[in-house]
Amino acid sequence: FLNVPREPWIERVVVGDAMDAADDWIAERAGPGSIVVTADVPLASRCVKAGAAVIGPNGKPFSESGIGMALATRNLMQDLREAGTITGGPRPFSARDRSEFLGALDRAVNRIRRGTA
C-alpha cells in the first residue's frame, strides 16, 4: 500500500480485486463538484457522463463533446497494439505535461469554487 498522509481530508480506500473494481468505485462517486484525474479513457467517459471534471495526467481535459472521439481513438490504438502493428507506449511524462496538468487542475478547482463547473 501507499503511505497516505495523515490528513482529515485524505482517505485510503481499498476495493476488491474484481476487474475494474477501482474504476467502479471512482465512477460511482464521481459527479458535479468532483475532479477525476485519469489516463483511463473508459473511466474518463463514465465520470464525464456523471458530471465530473476529468483531466488527464498531461493536463488534457476530457469533455462531453470530445469523449466519443477519445474512446474511438483508444479502441483503435488497442486493436493496433493487439495486432502488433504498433508497439511501445506513450511518450515519457515531461515538465510541460506537469505544467499543463497543474494549470488544468487549478482551472477545474476554480470552476467548481465559482459554481460554473
Specify if 53 maps to a domain. yes
Specify if 106 maps to a domain. yes
Range of the domain at 57: 21-114
| 102 three-state secondary structure | helix
d(CA 100, CA 27): 24
> From first to last of its 117 residues, what are the pLDDT tens digits of the chain?
678 889 988 888 999 999 999 999 999 999 999 999 999 999 999 999 999 999 999 999 999 999 999 999 999 988 998 898 887 777 899 999 999 999 999 999 999 999 876
Specify if 109 maps to a domain. yes
Q: How far apart are the first and last CA of the chain?
A: 33
